[in-house]
Amino acid sequence: MPIGRLSLFACLAAILTAAPLPSFADVQAPIAAPTAEVVDTLCGEEVADPYRPLENLKEPQVQAWYRQESDRARTLLDAIPGRNGLIRKMQEFDKRRPAKVYSLVITENDHYFYLKQTPSDETGKLFFRKGFRGKERKLLDPATFSEGGVNFVVSQVAPNIDGSKIVVSLSPNGSEDSVLLVMEVSTGKIYPERINRCWFASPSWLPDGKSFFYNRLNPGALHDKDREKDSRIFLHVTGTDPSSDREIFSRTTNPEMGIRPEDIPAVFFDRNSNHLYASIESVDPKINAWYAPVNTVSEKIIPWKRLISPKDEVYSFGTTKTDIYLFTPKNAPRFKVLKTSLEHPDIDHARTVIDQQPDASISGFVLTSDGIFYTLSINGVKEELYHIGYNGKSAEKIALPVDAGTIHLSSKGFDKKEIWTLMAGWSQDYRRYRYELKHNRFIDETLSSPAKYPEYAKLNVEEVMVPSHDGVMIPLSLIHNRGIAKDGHNPVLIYGYGAYGNSMTPFFSPSLLLWTNKGGILAVAHVRGGGELGDAWHKAGMKTSKPNTWKDLIACAEYLVSEKYTSPRHIAINSASAGGILVGRAMTERPDLFAAVIPQVGALNPVRGEESPNGPVNVPEFGTVKNPVECKALIEMDPYLHLRKGVAYPAALVTAGMNDPRVIAWQPGKFAARLQASTASKNPVLFFTDYKAGHGIGDTKTKQFEAIADMLSFGLWQTGQPEFQPTER
């Protein structure tokens, strides 16, 4: 960036303090979007799509609409009283922590690589140290690559085995369209080659320490429909021209493996077993993998041997020199861990090492020289840590130093003792501990600076179960100040997701907790489609079962009303990405139940998803229009298609990122345009497109603060919080 970080924050603070708020009275009505008479016949149904022209993001008239709507939304959002105060509070929170550390990678020889962000940094810088207590050294500042309004962030780091070299992935303006560069750690030398088009790169080093595998997309613009098809794995040797890189694994090199154009091939080297592994990936969690001895990498065609098939339903695995441990929900909806020989794998007859539990789901495991450590998740909101030896004796529960809603495990491998836990809760900051089994003790090794938040000292967390439309009990987390009145007047922000089997486990966010600081209740609905109660929970909210997700959310909102926590005019619902289906359909099915809906970069027109670059890879989760049954399910889950003229819809803040590679900007754009034209209410419908952002991954700190402030202030405005009510001038 051309302006220094300290001066940037000083200028921003001055602007927020001194600038007068824009006037609501001066804001124009929504601009009519371009339309056309488009009717598709899908699975025997005629489906009208009047806002199809908005899909042409290269059309000047279309771009004019996106920009005009964004300007209008920006003016209204900036005019909300209290918004600037939220940003100032986030900046204050940020200054309490001298350093925030994330994306930590530890090599087997104890070299630490991580991103660190100070209050004066817009993005994380890459640092290195030898051991936890080693002297810190800065390796790279992504700002040195930023110019002409293009801001780069470090999106991934991958050191080689001994930590002497590292691949750094740089992404511009939130696009995730990464460029790889290679650095020599001891000298800071950056090798001359640059490898672009590396969204799915996942660099993996070979034992020689100078060559690595990576995935590369085809040439083409960000929104080209076929750009993500037929990506390929290459082998790069440090210091050479990438144009000479050898193609290792792809639909072309391995036609016998049934790789589809939309699949994402991957290859990695595993030190534990000294093997190469090749896999075909999509959003389907079932692994489809082969393996080969590492010394075969020089052969013209690597002799891959089948290891895991989708029918085995293996979601992850770990290895030793002789065995492979498999994490699977097959015949175990709450997961189990199996063991079989690596030389002669027989998954059908693998031995059960950790069996599924009746009232908890196995959420993860790691291998160490002391045995297996694993976590159990109870309803997705509380986790416990266990240890079992390789001899297979009964597992032992390990007492934790803090109550943990979330536990992330990491280790160096099956032949190393080290194991680390990262723990957090709804009102508890993240802490990182190294655990010593011999002494049964946790040693705090948190790299981020400690910070205190007295504002949240009196938070109360309630974990309740809510009956859904079909009687299934849904976990609902409520975070609010102690002693809150059940008078039906509390502003409530309900967040949910419900896709890909992702669990909304407890996390700590001082910025989001500002909702409670304003007297509100934060609610997290653990709807079906997530993984909170195991694999069956996921399958109960995908494809033809997708309606359960938004019906679960509706049930949670109705519970909060019936229990007098709030009332419909005080409820806002929020989600992002695939969660756009959740909140979009909850709103279209029960517009009377909510005051505001806030889908951020949301999937809001999934029927047309396959027409976007990132659509085909998502078919395993949502379905395809080419299958009659799944086509009907897609129509049913599509929020855009369920908007009806003359319905009094709640207020809406819809956002998009023009550089978004995951949910193309026209999905939220079409939804916002149709909602503006359809609603019979006077509630505002705002549509904001950020032209220097993507899916929110890799946003600068300022963009993160602004996006959170937009969401919170709009929600507090629409749910009636007095501090956020505009005054007409």
User: What six digits make up the tokens of 529?
Assistant: 């489609």
- Total Cβ atoms within 10 A of residue 133: 7
Top mean-pLDDT range of 28-42, 148-162, 595-609: 595-609
Q: Which CATH superfamily is domain 60-93+453-723 in?
A: Alpha/Beta hydrolase fold, catalytic domain (3.40.50.1820)
- 332, 389, 388: which is closest to 362 by C-alpha? 332
The residue among 174 and 204 whose pLDDT is bigger is: 204
Can you give the pLDDT at residue 25? Answer: 52
Share of the chain above pLDDT 90, in %: 89
Gyration radius (Cα) of the chain, Å: 25
Q: Does position 417 have pLDDT exceeding 60, yes or no?
A: yes
Q: Residue 456: which region, alpha, beta or left (left: phi > 0; alpha: psi -120 to 50)?
A: alpha
Q: Does position 244 have pLDDT exceeding 80, yes or no?
A: yes
**pLDDT, tens digit, for every residue of 254-286?**
999 999 999 999 999 999 999 999 999 999 999
Can you give the pLDDT at residue 24? Answer: 58
User: What six digits make up the tokens of 448?
Assistant: 């981020």
In eight-state DSSP terms, residue 724 is G
User: What six digits make up the tokens of 562?
Assistant: 């019936």
CA–CA distance, 613 with 478 (Å, rounded to integer): 37
For the segment 226-251, the average pLDDT, to the nearest whole number, is: 96
Q: Which residues contact 222 (CB under 8 A, 6 or more apart)?
A: 175, 177, 613, 659, 661
Can you give the pLDDT at residue 220? Answer: 78
Where in the chain are the domains? 60-93+453-723, 207-312, 313-450
- Total Cβ atoms within 10 A of residue 500: 21
User: What six digits make up the tokens of 203?
Assistant: 């660099």
Can you give the pLDDT at residue 728? Answer: 62
Three-state DSSP string of 495-536: ECCCCCCCCCCCCCCCCCCHHHHCCCEEEEECCECECCCCHH
Q: What pTM was estimated for this model as a whole?
A: 0.94
- Total Cβ atoms within 10 A of residue 703: 19
- Total Cβ atoms within 10 A of residue 309: 14
CA–CA distance, 35 with 33 (Å, rounded to integer): 6
SS3 292: strand
CA dihedral 434, 436, 439, 445 (to 10 degrees): -10
User: What six digits make up the tokens of 16?
Assistant: 């927020």
Phi, psi of 27, rounded to the nearest 5 degrees: -85, 135
- Cβ atoms 713, 80 nearer than 8 A: yes
Please tell us whether the domain made up of 313-450 is placed in CATH 2.130.10.120.
yes
Can you give the pLDDT at residue 729? Answer: 40
CA–CA distance, 594 with 578 (Å, rounded to integer): 20
| Residue carrying the six token digits 């934790």 | 400
CA distances from 3 to 8, 10, 125, 152, 637 (A): 6, 11, 17, 14, 45
CA distances from 41 to 48, 170, 221, 230 (A): 9, 43, 30, 29
Q: Residue 43: which region, alpha, beta or left (left: phi > 0; alpha: psi -120 to 50)?
A: left
Q: Does position 412 have pLDDT exceeding 60, yes or no?
A: yes
- 64, 37, 32: which is closest to 52 by C-alpha? 37
Range 415-423, long-range pairs (CB < 8 A, 24+ positions): 415/272, 415/320, 415/369, 416/108, 416/368, 416/369, 417/368, 417/369, 417/370, 418/368, 419/366, 419/368, 419/370, 419/373, 420/445, 421/385
CA–CA distance, 295 with 585 (Å, rounded to integer): 53
Q: Does position 21 have pLDDT exceeding 70, yes or no?
A: no
**pLDDT, tens digit, for every residue of 653-663?**
999 999 888 99
Share of the chain above pLDDT 70, in %: 96
- Cβ atoms 268, 248 nearer than 8 A: no
According to DSSP, the residues that pair with 340 across neighbouring strands are: 324
- Cβ atoms 719, 684 nearer than 8 A: no
CA–CA distance, 250 with 257 (Å, rounded to integer): 9
- Total Cβ atoms within 10 A of residue 397: 10
Q: Does position 361 have pLDDT exceeding 60, yes or no?
A: yes
- 330, 310, 308, 327: which is closest to 318 by C-alpha? 327
Q: Work out the pLDDT band at 26, boundaries 50, 70, 90.
A: low
- 552, 553, 571: which is closest to 561 by C-alpha? 571
Q: Work out the pLDDT band at 6, boundaries 50, 70, 90.
A: very low
- Chain centroid offset of residue 716 CA: 25
- H or E element that contains 470: none
Mean pLDDT (the chain, rounded)? 94
> Residue 607, CB half-sphere, CA atoms under 13 Å: how many?
26
CA distances from 369 to 132, 258, 388, 395 (A): 20, 38, 11, 16
For the segment 290-298, the average pLDDT, to the nearest whole number, is: 97
**pLDDT, tens digit, for every residue of 439-472?**
999 999 999 999 999 999 999 999 999 999 999 9
Three-state DSSP string of 413-468: CCCCCCEEEEEEECCEEEEEEEEECCCCEEEECCCCCCCCCHHHCCEEEEEEEEEC
- Cβ atoms 386, 373 nearer than 8 A: yes
